[in-house]
């Protein structure tokens, strides 16, 4: 039986690189409350956007899709789910809302995890929601020749209930002991959860929901305003690579947590950096709203769609964005690419900065 012990963090996690990541996140966390107090109305808009992005991204990682318009309507409770994919999206929305509103009271014990999993499937006709797997499962992958092969063998269905009980109880004890930083313990817990793979379906989505829950309970609430799930989606290949690397030798207790922990810390730090840059841009009272949109193009070499600009500047109206984009196009400051839904804009690097 695989043992779980968070009272002694492996030595490989106490290296200089990981400690630097932890320290950087601590610095941003220290500024977090000042950011949150700065513009509560704007942050409310950021929260709404992040919920939509998180719900869409976490489901897309698992191959569950719907259109942007339907996603918006489902998350904002303006539509009822029409099919299986939308039922699962609506379920994710419900659990995410619970975590956002009640994380202080949602202790990650076995019965709570089962309850959250049940809610994940509350719109689905399947009866497996809120129940541990009833048969052994495997994590497989398709090789270059198109053949399916076993990548990882999780715990058996028989072992799972007791394993989750020990997993949650030892984690809570370690968090309460305050011996080690939660930023190290949380990724270890999530990796162990994924390696147990306790459910017939929904393990990946549950792991991301539990990540948010545990971060919020430890005071790291950046995921409410910047979608951590979207960052994971954008780095999905790396996510699967480090998951494979850190799960090797897991059953025997000989795995190396550090690749997965490092990845998780980098994702959290990336979210804090994005949060900081957005709030600081909004707090710059010397800039008008059109000037802030110009700054967005100054700060990136990537294409920006109208939707992306509205997400980054939720206090700026659609009409202001459209007027500003038209003005910047006439000026030659930006270039238009694509058409229809694929329309985007990019900084015209042939034109010198007006301040130079």
Tens of pLDDT, residues 62-84: 999 999 999 999 999 999 999 99
Residues 217 and 136 in one domain: yes
pLDDT tens-digit profile of 81-133?
A: 999 999 999 999 999 999 999 999 999 999 999 999 999 999 999 888 999 99
Residue 342 lies in a domain: yes
Residue 356 lies in a domain: no
Residue 1 lies in a domain: no
Residues 247 and 291 in one domain: no
Report d(CA 295, CA 48) in Å as an integer: 23
Residues 273 and 334 in one domain: no
pLDDT tens-digit profile of 243-272?
A: 999 999 999 999 999 999 999 999 999 999
Residues 206 and 310 in one domain: no
User: In the chain, how many domains are there?
Assistant: 2
pLDDT tens-digit profile of 267-322?
A: 999 999 999 888 887 777 679 999 999 999 999 999 999 999 998 888 899 999 99
- pLDDT surpassing 50 at residue 356: no
Residues 81 and 203 in one domain: yes
Length of the chain: 356
Residues 269 and 294 in one domain: no
Residue 3 lies in a domain: no
Residues 109 and 43 in one domain: yes
Q: What range defines the domain where residue 333 resides?
A: 286-347
Report d(CA 335, CA 44) in Å as an integer: 32
Residues 190 and 259 in one domain: yes
- pLDDT surpassing 80 at residue 201: yes
- pLDDT surpassing 50 at residue 36: yes
Q: What is the pTM of this model?
A: 0.89
Residues 68 and 199 in one domain: yes
Q: Measure CA 164 to chain center.
A: 23
Residues 47 and 120 in one domain: yes
Residue 192 lies in a domain: yes
CA 346 to each of CA 68, 297, 332, 355: distance values in angstroms, whole numbers, following the listed order: 22, 7, 11, 19
Residues 129 and 160 in one domain: yes
Residue 249 lies in a domain: yes
- pLDDT surpassing 90 at residue 141: no
């Amino acid at each position: 039986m695989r043992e779980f012990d968070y009272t002694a963090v492996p030595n490989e996690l106490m290296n200089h690189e990981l400690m630097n990541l932890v320290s950087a996140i601590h610095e941003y966390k220290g500024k977090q409350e000042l950011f949150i107090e700065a513009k509560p109305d704007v942050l409310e808009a950021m929260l709404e956007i992040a919920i939509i992005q998180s719900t869409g991204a976490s489901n897309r990682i698992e191959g569950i899709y719907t259109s942007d318009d339907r996603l918006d309507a489902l998350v904002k409770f303006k539509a009822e789910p029409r099919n299986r994919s939308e039922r699962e999206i609506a379920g994710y929305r419900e659990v995410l809302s619970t975590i956002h509103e009640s994380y202080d009271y949602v202790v990650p014990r076995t019965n709570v995890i089962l309850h959250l999993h049940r809610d994940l499937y509350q719109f689905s006709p399947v009866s497996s929601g809120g129940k541990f797997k009833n048969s052994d499962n495997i994590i497989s992958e398709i090789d270059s020749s198109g053949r399916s092969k076993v990548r990882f063998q999780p715990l058996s269905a028989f072992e799972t209930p007791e394993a989750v009980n020990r997993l949650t109880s030892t984690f809570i004890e370690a968090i309460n002991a305050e011996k080690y930083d939660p930023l190290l313990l949380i990724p270890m817990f999530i990796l162990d959860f994924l390696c147990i793979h306790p459910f017939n379906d929904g393990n990946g989505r549950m792991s991301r929901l539990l990540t948010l829950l545990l971060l919020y309970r430890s005071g790291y609430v950046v995921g409410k305003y910047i979608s951590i799930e979207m960052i994971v989606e954008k780095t999905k290949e790396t996510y699967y690579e480090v998951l494979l690397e850190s799960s090797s030798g897991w059953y025997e207790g000989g795995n190396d947590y550090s690749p997965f922990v490092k990845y998780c810390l980098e994702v959290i730090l990336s979210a804090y950096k994005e949060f900081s840059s957005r709030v600081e841009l909004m707090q710059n009272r010397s800039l008008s709203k059109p000037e802030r949109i110009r700054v967005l193009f100054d700060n990136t070499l990537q294409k920006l769609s109208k939707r992306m600009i509205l997400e980054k500047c939720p206090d700026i109206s659609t009409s202001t964005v459209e007027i500003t984009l038209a003005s910047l196009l006439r000026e030659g400051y930006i270039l238009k690419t694509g058409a229809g839904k694929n329309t985007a804009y990019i900084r015209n690097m042939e034109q010198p900065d007006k301040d130079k």
